[in-house]
Amino acid sequence: MRVSFIIATYNSAATIGRCLDSLAAQDFLDFEAIIVDNKSTDSTLEIASSFDNKMSMKVISEPDRGIYDAWNKALQIISGDWIVFLGSDDFLASHTVLSQMSKHLNNDVQLVYAQIFIFDAKRDKVLYKTGKKWEMTKRNLPKGEMYPHTGAFHSKKLFEMYGKFDDSYKISGDFEFALRFFANCTGKFINDLQFLHMTTGGVSASIANIKIRFLEDSRAIKSHTRNIFPTYLYTLGIRNFLSSYILSLVGEKNFEILKTLKRNLFYGK
């Protein structure tokens, strides 16, 4: 059983080393890292190349049309039975998490994921953690509640059966892909395992991208759900409008603080 880690990069010199260090430190060795670089102009590729003798690695360096196009390129050359998508600034929580996760990978499941811890920009404080039982996620996924896609283990069979990502999406391509397979998928959430560390913010933390995400989520739901949820879409529209308005008032840093307070209030720390 082999695991393929897919990492899309662009001018990621400040973070890619830590990401790859966390892979190289694993006590489970049957994995590969595939770097898909969008013609970085910094030292991203040089840093990635320095790990050639520490793990099995493949590097693609050419222009792409976005993250889903980059991921699709990697899917064409993977050798793993399980696929994990990472951000270039993500890193595995410990040197044993891959071997711990590997115990749950078998032919009876197609999706396995564990807890993801979200840190502040300085990485010195945990803001919140993500991950719910698959049964709950599966029930709510058609309404827009996504499992933590980054760090999740996807069986290669999912892509063989349901195709690759639709790269016409800019933000919600992973959600659209999940809507294709979720109804027939057996998933598993490992609640007692902290697998991945991430930093808050990123592509979705802007007014423009909040709006894009709403439009793309709505498009995906309409495309793949037999019953369109007009009430949900209306609520989602209001929620995204309010998020955009609040973000414009308080700025990104305070917006993340407010989101953290909401999560702690309704879901616990």
Tens-digit pLDDT profile for residues 21-37: 999 999 999 999 999 99
Element (H, E) at 198: strand 187-199
How remote is the C-alpha of 177 from its chain's centroid? 12
Report pLDDT for 103. 96
Query: Does the pLDDT at position 250 exceed 90?
Result: no
Homologous superfamily assigned to 3-202 = Spore Coat Polysaccharide Biosynthesis Protein SpsA; Chain A (3.90.550.10)
CA dihedral 70, 71, 77, 82 (to 10 degrees): 160
Task: Determine contact, residues 173/224, Cβ cutoff 8 Å.
Answer: no
Cα-based angle 244, 248, 254 (whole degrees, multiple of 5): 100
Report pLDDT for 239. 56
Query: Does the pLDDT at position 217 exceed 70?
Result: yes
Distance CA 195, CA 63 (A): 31
Model confidence at 79, in pLDDT bands (50, 70, 90)?
A: very high
Q: For residue 89, which phi and psi values (nearest 5 degrees)?
A: -110, 10
Query: Which residues, in sequence order, are CB contacts of 181 under 8 Å at separation 6+?
Result: 110, 158, 161, 162
CA nearest 105: which of 153, 66, 69?
Answer: 153
CA nearest 4: which of 68, 61, 56, 45?
Answer: 56
Query: Does the pLDDT at position 165 exceed 70?
Result: yes
Distance CA 173, CA 241 (A): 21
**What average pLDDT does the chain have?**
86
Report pLDDT for 234. 45
Q: Where are the domains of the chain?
A: 3-202
Report pLDDT for 111. 98
pTM: 0.85
